[in-house]
Structure 1
Amino acid sequence: MGKHRKNKVKVEHTLLEGLERYLRVISQFDGVKSIVPGRISRNNRGRGSKGIFLKYRTNSGFKLLYKNGTSVQEVFVVCSDSQAFERQFKEAYGYEA
């Protein structure tokens, strides 16, 4: 599969099932310039938290993790205002990182 863009999402890797709906919401946040889904790995701990989680701030935005119970996918968000993104993310997904 080649690289292509779908709105602000750069599709270079396969997306885990259920991730696309989170990316549609995040792409609407103020200041989001680009979303780059990354590597997928198995979640060896088995069942656990499911959903999308703020991992840490990067030079250009944030690294997120999407967990579906059996696998984990990295997601990188490039944004112009990291504080605004973090606030919007926490409001949308109702938790503290």
Structure 2
Amino acid sequence: MGKHRSGKLKVEHHLLEGLENVLGELQRWDVVDSIIPGRIKRQNRGRGSKGIFLKYKTVSGYKLLYKNGTSVQEVFVVCNDYKGFEKLFKERFG
């Protein structure tokens, strides 16, 4: 799979099942400038929590983790309003 950009989404890696819907929603947020999904890693600990999780703030936005139970994928979000992004993220994804 080659690198390509679709709107705010820059795809360099495959996406875990279900992540495309989450990224579609994040792309619609005005505070989001760009989304870069990272590598996929297998989780050794069987079935864990599922969903999208806010990990930490970066220089340009946030690092998120998307977990589907058996694998985890990093997602980097570039945003122009840290507080606005956190507020929207917590309202939508808890």
With the shorter chain as reference, the TM-score category is over 0.9
**Consecutive unaligned residues in structure 2, runs of 5 or more:** none
Alignment partner, residue 82 of structure 2 = 82
| Residue deviations 1:35-74 (CA, integer Å, cap 9, x gap) | 0000110011111110000000000000000000000000
Cα distance in 2, alignment partners of residues 17 and 6 from structure 1: 18
- Residues 86-97 of structure 1 aligned to structure 2 (within 5 Å): 86-94=86-94
**Consecutive unaligned residues in structure 1, runs of 5 or more:** none
Counterpart AA for 2:2: G
RMSD value, Cα: 0.7
Counterpart AA for 1:36: I
Segments ≥4 residues shifted beyond 6 Å:
none
SS at match of 2:87: helix
TM-score (norm 1): 0.94
Residues 1:14 and 2:14 are matched in the alignment: yes
- Residues 27-38 of structure 1 aligned to structure 2 (within 5 Å): 27-38=27-38
Alignment partner, residue 44 of structure 1 = 44
Alignment partner, residue 4 of structure 1 = 4
Alignment partner, residue 54 of structure 2 = 54
Cα distance, 1:7 vs structure 2: 1.7
Cα distance in 1, alignment partners of residues 86 and 46 from structure 2: 28
| Contact 1:30-1:84 within 8 A present in 2 as well | no
Aligned-residue sequence identity (percent) comes to: 70
